[in-house]
Structure 1
Amino acid sequence: MLVRVVKMHFSLAFIAEFKVLFQSVQPKIAAFNGCTGVKLLQDHNNPEIWFTISHWVDETHLNAYRDSELFKTTWALVKPNFQSKAEAWSLLDI
């Protein structure tokens, strides 16, 4: 099992739009072949910091998602609104 953690830093002005966007794509991501779950978390102390945590059968499935139109379209909407470069980690669930 592979756990993907992505940290994103947005301006306060984009947060409401991001929450709506994530609510619309979250079921699609969760239904993607090889995804066993995905959720969104907001930092307790800084409302501009958000994390997505997704669980994947393996790296092949994660990469298939990252090559998909769903990811490319969503990322194109989100990326211009970063206050700083997103950080991502792929972790093994042992």
Structure 2
Amino acid sequence: MFIRIVKLSFHPEHVLTFLDNFDLMKEKIRNAPGNRLLELYRDKNNDNIFFTYSYWETEQDLENYRESELFYDVWTFTKKLFNDKPEAWSVDRLVSLE
């Protein structure tokens, strides 16, 4: 399992635009080949900061998505709304307790 965390920070006036677009695109992203989970979180202290968590079967699955037309469309739309550079981490899950 390959886990990707992305921090996104938006201009306050663009938050609803981002959320509306995410709602339109989330199923398409989730159904990308190799994607096993997609979650969106909002920072408790700053309403303009969001985090996406996505689980991929392999790193190549994420790279294939990042090279897809879907990613191009999502990213081209979203990056115009940022108020700060996005940050991304690829992480390995060491422990999970249910």
Q: Matched residue pairs, number?
A: 94
CA separation in 1, counterparts of 2:42 and 2:53? 11
CA separation in 2, counterparts of 1:30 and 1:8? 18
Question: RMSD of the alignment, in Å?
Answer: 0.8
The structure carrying a bigger strand percent of its residues is 1
Deviation above 4 Å: which 4+ runs of structure 1?
A: none
**Larger Cα Rg: Structure 1 or Structure 2?**
2
TM-score, normalised to structure 2's length?
Answer: 0.92
Q: Which structure 1 residue ranges, 5 or more long, are not aligned? A: none
AA matched with 2:33: N
Calculate percent identity across the aligned residue pairs.
Answer: 37
Q: Which structure 2 residue ranges, 5 or more long, are not aligned? A: none
SS of residue matched to 1:60: helix
CA separation in 1, counterparts of 2:93 and 2:3? 6
TM-score, normalised to structure 1's length?
Answer: 0.96
Q: Please state how far the C-alpha of 1:70 moved relative to its aligned partner.
A: 0.5
Q: Please state how far the C-alpha of 1:51 moved relative to its aligned partner.
A: 0.5
